[in-house]
Structure 1
């Protein structure tokens, strides 16, 4: 019984990309901090966790975590951020994204413009 290789070897790089929808966020005077829980993320190589910032958005890509890729794209941030000042930290089972506020000491009531519009639409409209 010879088991001939059928040539169905899936390349590891593909796998499918999972969209991250659960996150928490917090803010200080200088930073808006986004917490994303990903079990085992601290075990992948640092270069597998990539965050790309623009003034009003960021996107996170985590490659090869449990054989999958995870992505989170946040567009239309409520206020502009400083791309150079923004960074990420990987903690146990958590990715922390630090968005540097372009204007310090401003309070963000929402993380994104969309969230603001949704919340304000559904609220009691005065006038």
Structure 2
């Protein structure tokens, strides 16, 4: 069943803004295979841990990930519902534009048939 509830524009802004950065998109991709510690995620980047944590905080503020600290380990988990919300927003407009392009194609084909 498709959820047609409105999406908070501020959450959309934060979500798309967070995904505008390649490092953050990569973190999302890595978390799509399962939870990971911040240390494990950061190991693949040539940046200081505090800089990497800024990326984690942006993703968390956007609701795209959650983190849980157990002892000294902070574990990150992907929030698939927020990604689904962003995807739903894109899909809605993609369908609208596809419909418009189909109608334009039909109109152009009709004009071509009359000439």
- TM-score interval (norm. to shorter): under 0.3
| TM-score normalised by length of structure 2 | 0.26
Higher strand share: 1
Structure number with bigger Rg:
2
Higher helix share: 2
